[in-house]
């Protein structure tokens, strides 16, 4: 090759590097994916200064011979993908090839590789081969990248803080570890182990390595399928949630992908089990015929389109909702164990950072000692799922604290019920049912209610008279910009009729353009429920408490108010004994 041609090639690589190799995380990604393609069962990623001083990836894969080792840095060495459909059929992670050349053009790379016999060392800096020599015969491949972006100062400046770089590498390695529980991953920065998985092909163990035992114990396994899709994985209990949606991880045929609709439906499946702006931890694998997906072929994107999307969303939602609807979801108040306190503080800090960053950000800072607590992953105690109507256990009210919390007990422990949240849930389900299945039973108002509106509100409302008639209202024009209501649907709460009518009118006036009746009914039910529910500082009699608990037990979701706040929490007998240091110290009398 002539000198000029080589210069052209180096230039082309540098330009390509700008597109493919943007950050330390993209280098890690390329190298790790190479290791996976090489059938490695163990991949170790060592960083210094979040990869800005060193990125070293060591695998035990098939390795390369001398010729391939040199060729691998050739811009056109890409032999992996023959056509797009290969992407999801074969093992390769795809569409790179140019990447190694790009990385080598903006850094100093030392590659050591061997297929078990004589090894090869290749050193390339700034795209130029400095050295090729024989080296030791350890089977596998080691890439060492230093001086990243040394000759592209603009790119170097573009790097974010070390913390952000590390966070995005960690996020990537977490995800690839979740999609390959059969590979043993180690991620180390400045000598500190950030992630270590055991390669035992147990997804829950991988989840535990990333999120800790505490979260792993609160994951529910899901499995379902229809004619086109098989879904499996783990979903967190609603009480385990995060500020960012980054912990919803979707795999398609074992590959991490992104699909907004899928993320949205997963989060929506938890609706009213948790606040909508908190997100669950979910790892879902979807297996399907590759012909049903359309991949956006861009090296840095993982966006995917499904040709039978509605059907898939339906299946995912059904699976999650069915699972949640069959659990007892009363948060247990536990005494912190070991370093749990510091763990929590770390999490809190991370969560504050989360929403700002688009990519992802949950580097697990140094490990705490929770590994000492054991969880039998292979024989997870499969507690019998309680019968639908018995999810909320029988509870016996004792009294009321601060005019707000009902204290109850049973043989398992002590329970506190937030009386407003509980009544809100009961009312919400009642109203939602009435709004979704309207019957025209109505009650005349003794004193018809007139409502004055602004001129534009009045115009909008007049257009919606039919809508309100169907709900069970008799509503008519009454002078300038006023309406009169003579009767209302039968299910409004006694004593709150005026207030609720005004809320309904307000909601109708503010109906969105792209009106979704189900969402409208849901939102209106929650609003009406809040208005009609007992406020704090209202004293209930024991009978009234019993009645409320009975109503709550009949709810689809007795555990949360419509806004996702808990209605009930528990201190188990065991936890109480632990807190009073009774267990293990003296016999309980």
Stretch that binds Zn ion, among 154-162, 179-187, 467-475, 528-536 (CB under 5 A): 528-536
Q: Residue 473: is it exposed, middle or buried by C-beta count within 10 angstroms (0-12/13-18/19+)?
A: buried
The count of chain residues that interact with Zn ion, using the rule CB under 5 A, is: 4
Stretch that binds Zn ion, among 48-56, 171-179, 353-361, 527-535 (CB under 5 A): 527-535
The yes or no reply on residue 563 touching Zn ion (CB under 5 A) is yes
Report the alpha-carbon distance of residue 148 to residue 54 in Å, rounded. 8
Question: Dmax of the chain from CA atoms?
Answer: 98
The yes or no reply on residue 486 touching Zn ion (CB under 5 A) is no
Nearer to Zn ion among residue 219 and residue 530 (C-beta): 530
**Beta carbon of residue 558, minimum distance to Zn ion (angstroms, whole number):** 14
Torsion of CA 253, 76, 102, 10, to 10 degrees: -170
**Beta carbon of residue 404, minimum distance to Zn ion (angstroms, whole number):** 12
Burial 296-329 (b: 16+ CB within 10 A, else e): eeebeebebebebeeebbebbeebbbebbeebeb
Residue 224 pairs with which residues in a beta bridge? 231
Contact residue for Zn ion among 183, 204, 313, 561 (CB under 5 A):
561
**Beta carbon of residue 564, minimum distance to Zn ion (angstroms, whole number):** 8
**Beta carbon of residue 416, minimum distance to Zn ion (angstroms, whole number):** 16
Q: How far is CA 372 from the centre of its chain?
A: 26
Please, are residues 211 and 224 in contact by the beta-carbon 8 Å criterion? no
Torsion of CA 491, 496, 502, 508, to 10 degrees: -30
Stretch that binds Zn ion, among 99-107, 384-392, 529-537, 541-549 (CB under 5 A): 529-537
Nearer to Zn ion among residue 139 and residue 531 (C-beta): 531
Chain positions 420 to 479 lying near Zn ion, rule: CB under 5 A, are 424
**Beta carbon of residue 533, minimum distance to Zn ion (angstroms, whole number):** 6
Report the alpha-carbon distance of residue 226 to residue 37 in Å, rounded. 31
Nearer to Zn ion among residue 171 and residue 424 (C-beta): 424
State whether the Cα torsion 150-152-153-156 is positive or negative.
Answer: negative
Residue 188 pairs with which residues in a beta bridge? 46, 193
**Beta carbon of residue 549, minimum distance to Zn ion (angstroms, whole number):** 18
Stretch that binds Zn ion, among 34-42, 167-175, 331-339, 556-564 (CB under 5 A): 556-564
The yes or no reply on residue 417 touching Zn ion (CB under 5 A) is no
Stretch that binds Zn ion, among 102-110, 180-188, 195-203, 555-563 (CB under 5 A): 555-563
**Beta carbon of residue 528, minimum distance to Zn ion (angstroms, whole number):** 11
Encoding tokens for residue 71? 């060729």
Nearer to Zn ion among residue 382 and residue 402 (C-beta): 402
Nearer to Zn ion among residue 175 and residue 425 (C-beta): 425
The yes or no reply on residue 552 touching Zn ion (CB under 5 A) is no
**Beta carbon of residue 281, minimum distance to Zn ion (angstroms, whole number):** 23
Encoding tokens for residue 150? 């040394």
Report the alpha-carbon distance of residue 350 to residue 364 in Å, rounded. 9
Q: How far is CA 120 from the centre of its chain?
A: 43
The yes or no reply on residue 530 touching Zn ion (CB under 5 A) is yes
Nearer to Zn ion among residue 217 and residue 563 (C-beta): 563
Nearer to Zn ion among residue 181 and residue 562 (C-beta): 562
Report the alpha-carbon distance of residue 454 to residue 466 in Å, rounded. 20
- The contact set with Zn ion (CB under 5 A) reads 424, 530, 561, 563
């Amino acid at each position: 090759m002539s000198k000029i041609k080589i210069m052209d090639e180096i230039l082309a690589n540098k330009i390509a590097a700008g597109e493919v190799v943007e950050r330390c995380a993209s280098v890690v990604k390329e190298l790790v994916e190479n290791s996976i393609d090489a059938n490695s069962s163990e991949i170790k990623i060592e960083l210094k200064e979040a990869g800005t001083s060193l990125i070293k990836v060591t695998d035990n894969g098939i390795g390369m011979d001398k010729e391939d080792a040199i060729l691998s840095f050739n811009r056109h060495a890409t032999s992996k993908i023959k056509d797009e459909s290969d992407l999801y059929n074969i093992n390769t992670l795809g569409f790179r090839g140019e990447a190694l050349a790009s990385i080598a053009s903006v850094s100093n790379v030392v590659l050591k590789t061997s297929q078990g016999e004589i090894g090869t060392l290749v050193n390339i800096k700034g795209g130029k081969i400095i050295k090729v020599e024989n080296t030791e015969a350890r089977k596998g491949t080691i890439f060492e990248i230093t001086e990243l972006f040394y000759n592209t100062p603009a790119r170097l400046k573009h790097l974010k803080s070390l913390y952000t770089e590390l966070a995005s590498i960690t996020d990537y390695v977490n995800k690839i570890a979740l999609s390959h529980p059969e590979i043993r991953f180690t991620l180390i920065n400045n000598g500190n182990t950030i992630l270590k998985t055991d390669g035992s092909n147990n997804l829950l163990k991988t989840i535990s390595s990333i999120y800790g035992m505490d979260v792993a114990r609160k994951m529910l396994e899901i499995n379902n399928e229809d004619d086109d899709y098989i879904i499996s994985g783990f979903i967190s209990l609603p009480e385990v949630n995060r500020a960012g949606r980054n912990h919803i991880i979707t795999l398609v045929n074992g590959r991490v992908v992104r699909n907004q609709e899928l993320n949205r439906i997963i989060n929506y499946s938890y609706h009213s089990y948790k606040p909508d702006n908190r997100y669950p931890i979910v790892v879902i694998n979807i297996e399907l015929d590759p012909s049903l997906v359309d991949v956006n072929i861009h090296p840095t994107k993982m966006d995917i389109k499904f040709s039978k999307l509605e059907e898939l969303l339906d299946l995912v939602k059904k699976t999650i909702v069915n699972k949640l609807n069959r659990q007892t979801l009363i948060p247990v108040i536990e005494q912190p164990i070991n370093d749990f306190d510091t763990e929590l503080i770390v999490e809190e800090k991370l969560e504050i950072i989360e929403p700002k960053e688009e990519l992802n950000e949950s580097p697990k800072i140094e490990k705490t000692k929770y590994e000492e607590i054991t969880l039998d992953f292979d024989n997870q105690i499969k507690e019998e799922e309680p019968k639908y109507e018995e999810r909320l256990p029988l509870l016996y009210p004792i009294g009321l604290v601060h005019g707000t919390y009902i204290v109850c007990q049973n043989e398992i422990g002590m329970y506190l019920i937030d009386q407003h949240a509980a009544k809100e849930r009961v009312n919400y389900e009642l109203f939602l049912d009435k709004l979704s299945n309207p019957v025209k039973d109505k009650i005349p108002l003794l004193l018809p209610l007139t409502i004055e509106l602004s001129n534009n509100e009045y115009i909008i409302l007049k257009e919606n008279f039919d809508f309100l008639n169907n709900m069970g209202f008799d509503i008519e024009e009454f002078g300038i910009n006023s309406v009169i209501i003579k009767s209302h649907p039968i299910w409004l709460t006694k004593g709150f009729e005026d207030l609720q009518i005004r809320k309904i009118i307000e909601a109708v006036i503010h109906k969105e353009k792209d009106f979704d009746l189900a969402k409208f009914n849901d939102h209106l039910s929650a609003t009406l429920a809040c208005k009609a529910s007992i406020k704090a500082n209202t004293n209930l009699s024991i009978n009234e408490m019993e009645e409320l608990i009975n109503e709550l037990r009949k709810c689809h979701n007795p555990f949360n108010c419509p806004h996702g706040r808990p209605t009930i929490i528990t201190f188990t007998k065991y936890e109480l004994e632990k807190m009073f240091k009774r267990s293990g110290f003296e016999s309980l009398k």
